[in-house]
Amino acid sequence: MSRPTGAKKWAEEEFGSVELGDSRRTARLVAMAAGACRRPSGRVAAVFTKDAQREGAYDFLESEHVASEEMMAGLASATVRRCAGLPFVFVPTDGTSVTVSDWTGERDFGRIGSDNNGARGLKVVDALAVDPQGTPVGLLGLTWWARQKSAPKKQHAKQSRPLEEKETRHWVQTVQAACSALDEGGVRGWFQIDREGDGRDLLLALHETKHWWTVRANADRSIELEDGDTAKLRSELDKKSALDTYPLQVVARPGRRPRTATMVVRAARVVLRLRDRKANRITTLAVTAVWAREQGTTPAGEEPIDWLLYTNHPVETLADACLVIDGYAQRWRVEEFHRTWKAGDCDVESAQLRSFAAVQRWATILAAVAVRIERLKRLARTQPNLPAAVDLSPFELRALIALTFEEKPRPRDATIAQAVAWLAEMGGYANKYSGKPPGATVIGRGLKYLRSAARLLELQHV
């Protein structure tokens, strides 16, 4: 895989092919992305400290000639290029919101959450490419919208609307855009979607693609049996012999005690009955259901761990079923990306921009930066012996070694794990006390210090 190195080169790879109708706009976009990479922040003024840079950035973000869709298309193309040679990529797909300041409600943002809390901002569905080792590669899709009206109060009214009136259409659009980019590059995707995606419209849209997909079940669906009768999925799966069991290490969190859970795995080919309430008809969809449920190790007062997954990936053995389960676990990569993008160093929700379009453009740039931070974090954990040059430029590595080792002789190179540990320590990581590997926050802080020093070395070299 070809990976970006320094901030400028990284920005050129991510955004250099974006078509904005004028090469000067593309050059401005690349310069802004490089600036955000060196000094990530949700506030434009914190990234660009010179008056001319700030003015140029605001002009770009408010320009009617800049299409956010073209920016995202450029990011997707760059992501697919980096995926060349991989057998497949996981594509965790999820929805989130970006809350912004709009106390008067006069700007073109929409409601976030319930009508009562008064929060304003944008909704977004994103698709992230993750390699088979669990390392983020880049973005494949971002679909934005602003909620303007309250959703129907009754669940039946929600379900009976046509797709064009449901927010599900944004999920379908994101999947279709990601598939288009993957198809163009000849890369197979494996979409990983949580319970929010368990709906007729999205399941059928996934079925129409050429790619693999896994969706976590939101409810115990009705299935069609071979004799034409119907039954509930869980009761039918419970009649099947277990493929086997596997141990799962459960980390402590609110409502969960740490333990080694015993997971019982069952799998079967089933036919889902998908109801179209508007047309009052049933559409059937053949899938493989993989059910992993904790048995015999659940502490008193807790619910057992229970994952019921639909997939179109072949499942014949326990190894196949575990591959589906492990693939679904990669969905957490998009949750981690959200934290870095929204509340970490990128802090997109602190943007003081005044329009939907400006927030969308700036958030797209910061999303690419957040993916780079997450990639560094995961590379250090999953492929620790790779050379640091796999994702750091020569100037960044020289600056990092100089800042870490004040006295000579200094090492001339480092592994990615060593480099990330040094970055994290610069960002305040106390490794001997925390007992956990470095996270995106301390890595991001370290990168801020590093990039200023690396920039000085670049200028001296010129």
Question: What single letter denotes the amino acid at residue 318?
Answer: L
Question: pLDDT per residue over 291-313, tens digit each?
Answer: 999 999 999 999 999 999 999 99
3-state secondary structure of 124: strand
Q: How far is CA 388 from the centre of its chain?
A: 24
Q: d(Cα 25, Cα 19) in Å, to the nearest integer?
A: 9
Q: How far is CA 289 from the centre of its chain?
A: 24
Encode 94-112: b = buried (16+ Cβ within 10 Å), e = exposed. Answer: bbbbbebebeeeebebbbb
The pTM for the full model equals 0.90
Q: d(Cα 269, Cα 100) in Å, to the nearest integer?
A: 45
Question: pLDDT per residue over 48-64, tens digit each?
Answer: 989 999 999 999 999 99
380 pLDDT more than 80: yes
Q: d(Cα 374, Cα 92) in Å, to the nearest integer?
A: 14
Domains, the chain, ordered by start: 214-328 (3.90.350.10), 384-461 (no CATH)
Q: d(Cα 7, Cα 14) in Å, to the nearest integer?
A: 10
User: Would you state the pLDDT for residue 300?
Assistant: 93
Segment 156-179 shows an average pLDDT of 84
Least confident among 43-47, 291-295, 441-445: 441-445
User: Concatenated DSSP letters for 21-51?
Assistant: SSHHHHHHHHHHHHHHHHS--SSHHHH--SH
- Give the mean pLDDT of the chain: 90
